[in-house]
Structure 1
Amino acid sequence: MVTPILKNRPEQETASQNLKQAGIHDLMARLLASRGVTDIAQIDPAWRNMIPPSLLTQAREAAVLLADAIARRDRMLIIADYDCDGATACAVGLRALRSMGAVVDFLVPNRFETGYGLSPAVVELAEQHPSGKPDLLITVDNGIASIDGVEAAHMAGMQVLVTDHHLPGDELPEALAIVNPNQPGCEFPSKNLAGVGVIFYLMLALRAELRQRGVYEANAGPRLNELADLVALGTVADVVSLDANNRLIVTQGLERMRKGQMQAGLRALFQVAGRDPRQASAFDLGFALGPRINAAGRLADMALGIRCLITDDEEEAASLASELEDMNQDRRSIEQSMREEALRAAELAEPDTSATVCVFHPEWHQGVVGLVASRLKEKYWRPTLAFAQGDEGEIKGSGRSIPDVHLRDALDLVSKRYPGLILKFGGHAMAAGLTIEEDNYEVFVQAFEEAVQELTGRYHFDPIIETDGSLEPEHINITVAGLLQKQVWGAGFPAPVFRDNFFVRQQRLLKNKHLKLSLERNGEYFDAIWFNRDTLLPENIEAAYRLDQNEWNGNVSVQFIIEFAQEQS
């Protein structure tokens, strides 16, 4: 187990003062300024502050194509992806397009049969779709790498519109239009839109086009802001960086949830997860709702998750959410077993002497290897790949990385140094997937190790916990804890973690796996808990912790959530 290094985030005094003068709470001003906020407009979640769709390359051209297709009554088919971002993107596309008169259905690849994205195999399925052969395929959260799939669609007499957010390769597909903020030449100010964000932007552009054509009067047409709950869920679940534009969208979505204005499926998911939508937070989206949608894509067919998000029938939503809950429980059980095996395999591989961790088991479940890679990455703090059996003679890997290592770049270097070793790969800095021949596993492990060491010049990495320094006593109260909870935190905009010295007055284990603490600082006492910590602490500690609200039997109190603690030096 690696030991984190605590490091204080630099304070930005000038920006902090400006925010205070604009009326922002003292502590919030300090926290926001240290995360790059310099102006109150950057935290104003009004729709008027959203980057306009006109800045997204080819969004207008794609909107024209869609408007023409609607006018002709063309059949459209959305090609989705099998994660939460892909599912929410599909739901946004379906709901918006249908509200604007489109004839549209969806198809989601099965990760165990047709693989990721618009492959030739998926094109064959599209041709035989129960709703009829489509005229236009619309990819959501995929397609930027679907060179062969787009060509196959053309050969079959179908056009393709690509919407995606993943990084492109050297070649782009020959689609009618490509809407992707990360494609070459796109000057959209935010490169961090999730797949659901991209299709949402395209739907805004389509509504604008229909207004221009006189289909709707100015400022009329479907109220696309009613889809903000779905956009928020997909954005948070995909762990894209929460820049100002993404925070705006997520905040709008959370506000709708807190007011009870959400899709039936989301309401049902809150119910089965035991979470209160009136207190909805980004944490709920990332750790309660998102995993339940993802469970369908990991273990079975993401169509189940998509149907949950597109139904308006409360009973059907409740039934589908219940199925997703059962799948999520199965996923947890499978993951736990795989993780224990993976930890044993990793220890045998002696990761302390290498820059990477790779594990493989022929009986592992393909849908869960990404989660196992994530857990191992956290334990060893190294870029990690976990492999499961794929097609005949092949194995499929899913990887998670650390800030020091761009995972896709490392795989790209392997593919260049060892042509043919990687059959296919894709992804981004922090997560990626790949397929190799099983017989080449050991060769790949060594090649991956060499690539990471070459790119970084290191074989050892230290996790850093960035903290916001000491938490002043006057800010340790329920009001401030509530303020922090209401703010949108996440990737690229991390939740506040404070750092202080404490005397441990009392400590005991709950259920043999959580450490409950009573801490003292300068004569004041605080309740704290360290989840998944099963060993006791020394009397004097330095702790990194979050300020939280604890609700119990109708009472609300302040509680510290311990992220890390060590003996006070």
Structure 2
Amino acid sequence: MRWTLKPKPEAGKLAVLKEALKVNTPIATLLLQRGIETFEEAKTFFRPSLNDLHDPFLMKDMDLAVARIEKAIANKENILVYGDYDVDGTTAVALMSTYLKTKYPLVHTYIPNRYDEGYGISYKGINFALENDFSLIIALDCGIKSVEKVAHAKKLGIDFIICDHHRPGSEIPKAAAVLDPKREDCNYPYKELCGCGVGFKLVQALASKDGETVEDLTEYLDLVATAIGADIVPIDGENRTLAYFGLMVINTNPRPGIKAILDQVEKTELTITDVVFIVAPRINAAGRMKHGNYAVTLLAEEEDDKARQYASEIDEYNLDRRETDKQITEEALQQIEANNEHDRLTTVVYHQDWHKGVIGIVASRLTETYYRPTLVFTRSGEFLAASARSVRGFDVYNAIEACSAHIEQFGGHKYAAGLTLKEENYEAFKQAFEDEVSKTIDRSLLIPEIKIDAKIDLKEITPKFYRILKQFAPYGPSNMTPVFMTENLTDTGYGKCVGADKTHLRLTAKQPNSTKSIVCIGFGMGDKYELISDKKPFKAVYSIDENEFRGNVSLQLKLRDIKT
């Protein structure tokens, strides 16, 4: 592990903020690292308000999108709400369709089949619209690169409204409206919305025409928060506000579909991390193992009994998904070992029978194991399809784009992307990708990094300090859980390996010349016991959380790493 201590903020700014907020140095440091320099900015950060949300009409083409939907309603056109089969896409479809149905009945949903249509807008979906007399398709979390398909639909008399958040290509589709804050000609103040977030902005714009405010739309924010967490977009700016209020809905009055999922795990107070690891995998499992329609049906359901039935079915898909991804991960690891590819800077593996629905998860697991840009391929019809994952700091999308001569199509983000290619191009692509990464990656990025926010002493960890820290949530990219480092630690003598297989480390740490001691838990760190045994001095990197035992709540350090 590389330990990287973030630079100390400028002394003058630190002093001003400490005085303005009456906080200690670590708290002021954390705020300045997040770009918060004034009392007003801190107030917005700690006390989000729905009034912080931007005017949706600041987004390019929003007026055109609203006008086209109003025209469809006035002319009694059939509207098809279309979205991808992942969490961002299915939550967006559930949000848009349930909202529109409160105003207008002729609304239907369409999720492409992962296996015979793949990501994004498909010709099969357009044909479905043609055969069923849909003259307007609202595409969510996809479409920004579908220039030819949108043109094809237009010739058939079908208009598109695109709500996307992926990077556009060189040409924008000629749709009735294209909403994407990443368009170069879009001046919307916040660029990092997820697909469901862009859909919400369209709903906000439509609602404003009926005299409704954003407060009237809070019931939809559980969907937006779920998508924000699952799609790993930055949780700052507008996303922070949407996630904050969305979590509030999830924890107080979630829609029946989300409540049914939560009832299965008996979880009470959810964080955004819980949403990512509990809610999102179950929604995703529908599209991975069966069909994304099941997720939309669950999320749009209004009756509790039916929602529980749908959630139970989706939980079964999730159990299947777990078994499948475990098996494929083992096979991929064996393939890497057999090919003796340890000296490469990339991981690229392929098997024609791997389940397309889980190759993204497998790519993530391989990235965790070897910590290098990773692609996992399987057969998909006449092509090979891959999911790509990256290491922190390296743009895998750009690396794939540089190899586009070998690719049929691709899309995605900096850290996660997908592509298809012809089988005969696989080996050439594999080598081109290795060459491109070798040329462009900073080698230090291939060593896992722990970014440390501040160095502190144990005596600074007080209940008041932790109360303020909790208000930094919801955590995520651009606002990660604060990580601290403390030096000159020793165990009080009772440190030991714990857990059924003794893989975890538990100890009580103290510093010299201080009576303060605190319990530390290091999951999966049992092999580091020797570093702390016999009261050897060590330093630790950790986050702070609460431990509840027999009704008593106390602060503890959740260890990330320790060194002598």
**With structure 2 as the length reference, what TM-score do the two structures score?**
0.91
Secondary structure, counterpart of 2:109 in structure 1: strand
Residue type of the partner of 2:337?
A: E
Query: How many Å separate the matches in 1 of 2:490 and 2:58?
Result: 54
What is the aligned counterpart of 1:257 among 216, 235, 250? 250
Residues 118 and 149 in structure 1, CA contact (< 8 A), matched pair in contact too: yes
What is the aligned counterpart of 2:119 among 116, 119, 128? 116
- CA drift of 1:32 comes to 2.1
Residues 81 and 109 in structure 2, CA contact (< 8 A), matched pair in contact too: yes
Residues 62 and 202 in structure 2, CA contact (< 8 A), matched pair in contact too: yes
Structure 2 counterparts to residues 161-310 of structure 1, below 5 A: 161-208=161-208, 210-211=209-210, 218-219=211-212, 223-258=216-251, 260-276=252-268, 279-310=269-300
Runs (5+) with no aligned partner, structure 1: 212-217
- CA drift of 1:308 comes to 1.3
Does 1:496 find its partner at 2:479? Answer: no
- CA drift of 1:162 comes to 0.7
Query: How many Å separate the matches in 1 of 2:415 and 2:331?
Result: 23
Which residue in 1 is equivalent to 2:314? 324
Does 1:381 find its partner at 2:371? Answer: yes
C-alpha offsets along residues 16-39 of structure 1, whole Å, 9 cap, x if unaligned?
Answer: 445444547534433222222222
What is the aligned counterpart of 2:390 among 380, 391, 401? 401
Q: Which deviates more from structure 2 when the two are superposed, residues 529-538 or residues 496-505?
A: 529-538
**With structure 1 as the length reference, what TM-score do the two structures score?**
0.90
Which residue in 1 is equivalent to 2:62? 59
Which residue in 2 is equivalent to 1:451? 436
Which residue in 1 is equivalent to 2:149? 149
Which residue in 2 is equivalent to 1:214? none
Secondary structure, counterpart of 1:433 in structure 2: strand
- CA drift of 1:114 comes to 0.8
Q: Which deviates more from structure 2 when the two are superposed, residues 436-445 or residues 55-64?
A: 436-445
Which residue in 2 is equivalent to 1:103? 106
Q: Identical aligned pairs, as a percentage?
A: 32
Residues 173/470 of structure 1: CA separation in 2 closer, same or farther (3 Å cut): same
- CA drift of 1:219 comes to 4.6
Residue type of the partner of 2:411?
A: G
Q: Which deviates more from structure 2 when the two are superposed, residues 510-519 or residues 314-323?
A: 510-519
Which residue in 2 is equivalent to 1:464? 449
Residues 92 and 195 in structure 2, CA contact (< 8 A), matched pair in contact too: yes
- CA drift of 1:482 comes to 5.0
Residue type of the partner of 1:402?
A: V
Secondary structure, counterpart of 1:508 in structure 2: strand
- CA drift of 1:151 comes to 2.5
C-alpha offsets along residues 477-513 of structure 1, whole Å, 9 cap, x if unaligned?
Answer: 4554454345211012111111124334412231327
Residues 349/221 of structure 1: CA separation in 2 closer, same or farther (3 Å cut): closer
What is the aligned counterpart of 1:554 among 551, 554, 560? 551
Residues 505 and 526 in structure 2, CA contact (< 8 A), matched pair in contact too: no
C-alpha offsets along residues 399-458 of structure 1, whole Å, 9 cap, x if unaligned?
Answer: 01123321111111111xxx3x21111112111101122233222111101111223365
- CA drift of 1:221 comes to 9.6
Query: How many Å separate the matches in 1 of 2:445 and 2:431?
Result: 16
- CA drift of 1:150 comes to 1.4
Residues 81 and 116 in structure 1, CA contact (< 8 A), matched pair in contact too: yes
Structure 2 counterparts to residues 334-413 of structure 1, below 5 A: 334-392=324-382, 394-413=383-402
Structure 2 counterparts to residues 503-518 of structure 1, below 5 A: 503-504=490-491, 505=493, 506-512=495-501, 514-518=503-507
Residues 190 and 243 in structure 1, CA contact (< 8 A), matched pair in contact too: no
Does 1:8 find its partner at 2:12? Answer: no
Query: How many Å separate the matches in 1 of 2:542 and 2:384?
Result: 40
Count of residues paired in the alignment:
546
Residue type of the partner of 1:68?
A: K
Query: How many Å separate the matches in 2 of 1:95 and 1:312?
Result: 10
Residue type of the partner of 1:367?
A: G
Residues 8 and 467 in structure 1, CA contact (< 8 A), matched pair in contact too: yes
Structure 2 counterparts to residues 423-442 of structure 1, below 5 A: 423-442=408-427
Superposed CA RMSD in Å reads: 2.3
Residue type of the partner of 1:306?
A: V
Where does structure 1 differ by over 6 angstroms across 4 or more consecutive aligned residues? none
Does 1:525 find its partner at 2:517? Answer: yes
C-alpha offsets along residues 148-196 of structure 1, whole Å, 9 cap, x if unaligned?
Answer: 3213322332111111000011122221110000112011121100001
Query: How many Å separate the matches in 2 of 1:342 and 1:184?
Result: 39
Secondary structure, counterpart of 2:328 in structure 1: helix
Which residue in 2 is equivalent to 1:40? 42
Residues 486 and 541 in structure 2, CA contact (< 8 A), matched pair in contact too: yes
Residue type of the partner of 2:175?
A: A
Runs (5+) with no aligned partner, structure 2: none
Secondary structure, counterpart of 2:455 in structure 1: coil
Query: How many Å separate the matches in 1 of 2:57 and 2:506?
Result: 53
